[in-house]
Amino acid sequence: MAVPLRIQSDWEQALRKDEGEAWLSCHPPGKPTLYGSLTCQGIGLDGIPEVTASEDFIVNEINKKSIHISCLKENASSKFLAPYTSFSRIHTKSITCLDISSGGGLGVSSSTDGSMKIWQASNGELRRVLEGHVFDVNCCRFFPSGLVVLSGGMDAQLKIWSAEDASCVVTLKGHKGGVLDTAIVDRGRNVVSGSRDGTARLWDCGRSACLGVVTDCGSSINGVAVGAADNSINLGSPEQMPSEREVGTEAKMLLLAREDKKLQCLGLQSRQPVFLFVGSDAFNCCTFLSGFSLLAGTQDGNIYQLDVRSPRVPVQVIHRSGAPVLSLLSFRDGFIASQGDGSCFIIQQDLDYVMELTGADCDPVYKVATWEKQIYTSCRDGLVRRYQLSDL
């Protein structure tokens, strides 16, 4: 795995002025850190600075919002992206979760300021405030339609909201502890939730009813993901006939990131175990990359890539820093990860460099959402940042 490079979080502003400087560092595992700097030698007619790097580092390319740096000694290469824009007026405190609607028009986010809000994705302008949870909202996401929002809170409730008029249309009760994450099954007639109470539950949205406890593992479930299983994977058979209110659960896997260092996979309809993997620390988040490939991130900074068909030994373990892995998202031919030290990076199969989304200065980036070539992040510093990817 590529050796991590780091850059001053506000490098883009720092290098805009003549003789402006920004620091750089390279962190080869088990070796001393290499420190360096970038210096602006003047601004070109196109408004792009001319930048030189100190010894050990080289500037491959620079644009208005990105700079591609390599450290030849360690064969490390990263393209750093500055935010295209950032929204500071949505929330006043740490933003714990966000999502973007399927059409790219709306964002939803929750914050430790106690609020959950819907806003225009293009400019951060406030559209609706979703009020009704008691205590903090832990997670929020759009249904595939983009017109409805699902949220989970410390009040042990899930709520379904209209994005158009902010009304709460459904409340799902049954958990005994805070709801920490949710997943939507197919188009959303059913949803799954994971809770502090150690259970994952399947819900019927139309009837506001719990269709069952998929598993009770006795440990806080920090993250959940639902994915379509490859034909070669045996998901087992349900012990009882599934309810006719279960829609789209067949041939689906449910993945649970647990506080007790375990990553659990089971058949969503069958409720039968597929595998149980023990990691280095508490699992915070998980996602499917394909019908057999998945990622899960731990509190001590490990990203495990597993193959469901042979899950005992990881395909790879990516470790870029000891900071908690807070979110993982499948993206194009790879994934986006964010960590508790403010780093947020994109790894793509066919790229020989890592893309780093900069701007957060040591503040945890809690959640990442994408729409086409735009990437949105939510951070403890209270900002939503929007990045614009050029053609990858």
Q: Please check whether residues 39 and 96 belong to one and the same domain.
A: no
- C-alpha to C-alpha distance for 390 and 217, rounded to whole angstroms: 43
- C-alpha to C-alpha distance for 302 and 141, rounded to whole angstroms: 25
Q: Please check whether residues 75 and 179 belong to one and the same domain.
A: no
Q: Please check whether residues 68 and 141 belong to one and the same domain.
A: no
Number of H helices, E strands in the chain: 1, 35
pLDDT tens column, 38-78: 999 999 999 999 999 999 999 999 999 999 999 999 999 99
- C-alpha to C-alpha distance for 96 and 152, rounded to whole angstroms: 12
Amino acid at 68: H
Question: Domain with 287 in it: what CATH number?
Answer: 2.130.10.10
- C-alpha to C-alpha distance for 101 and 97, rounded to whole angstroms: 14
pLDDT tens column, 148-168: 999 999 999 999 999 999 999
- C-alpha to C-alpha distance for 173 and 70, rounded to whole angstroms: 52
Q: Please check whether residues 95 and 51 belong to one and the same domain.
A: no
Q: Does the pTM exceed 0.95?
A: yes
Average pLDDT over residues 251-262: 98
Mean pLDDT of the chain: 96
Q: Please check whether residues 14 and 115 belong to one and the same domain.
A: no
Given 81, 108, 130, which residue is the final one in a domain?
A: 81
Given 81, 100, 115, which residue is the final one in a domain?
A: 81
Token code pair at residue 208: 């506001």
Q: Is the pLDDT of residue 333 over 70?
A: yes
What pLDDT is stored for residue 390 in this prediction?
A: 81
Closest CA to 386 of 4, 142, 111, 120: 120
Average pLDDT over residues 375-382: 98
Q: Which domain holds residue 13?
A: 5-81
Contact predicate 61/51, CB 8 Å: no
Given 23, 50, 81, which residue is the final one in a domain?
A: 81
pLDDT tens column, 199-242: 999 999 999 999 999 999 999 999 999 999 999 999 999 999 99
What pLDDT is stored for residue 96 in this prediction?
A: 97
Contact predicate 359/86, CB 8 Å: yes
Strand-pairing partners, residue 192, are: 183, 202
Q: Please check whether residues 68 and 116 belong to one and the same domain.
A: no
Q: Please check whether residues 66 and 129 belong to one and the same domain.
A: no
Token code pair at residue 11: 């490098």
Q: Please check whether residues 102 and 38 belong to one and the same domain.
A: no
Q: Please check whether residues 71 and 99 belong to one and the same domain.
A: no
Q: Please check whether residues 195 and 238 belong to one and the same domain.
A: yes
Q: Please check whether residues 71 and 167 belong to one and the same domain.
A: no
Q: Please check whether residues 65 and 112 belong to one and the same domain.
A: no
Query: What three-state secondary structure class fits 54?
Result: coil
What pLDDT is stored for residue 391 in this prediction?
A: 58
Q: How many structural domains does the chain have? A: 2
Q: Is the pLDDT of residue 292 over 90?
A: yes
